[in-house]
Amino acid sequence: LAKDRHIGAIGIEALAAARRAGIEPGYLFGVSETAIEGARCGLSYTIVCTSDATSGLVKKLQENGLDYKIISPAAK
């Protein structure tokens, strides 16, 4: 995450989790849309979200033909 300058958080729980990890997201509103537009311009984004928000986010990314990687702390 340190090299990613574009970090967004979807929801208050995700914002709190990011801050606990020492990360201050630069995007809090319209995160999905911002990331999609940025990706079209060649930018990389990291999006912090709850598991409840993941399926909606993935659907939007797939609809726009974007590659993504899911990293889950529960999987560690």
What distances in angstroms separate CA 36 from CA 16, 29, 71, 73, one per listed residue?
Answer: 23, 13, 18, 24
Structure confidence at residue 9 (pLDDT) = 97
CA separation for the pair 3, 35 (Å, rounded): 16
Does the reported pTM lie above 0.95? Answer: no
Structure confidence at residue 72 (pLDDT) = 86
2-52 pLDDT tens trace: 455 899 999 999 999 999 999 999 999 999 999 999 999 999 999 999 999
Structure confidence at residue 5 (pLDDT) = 82
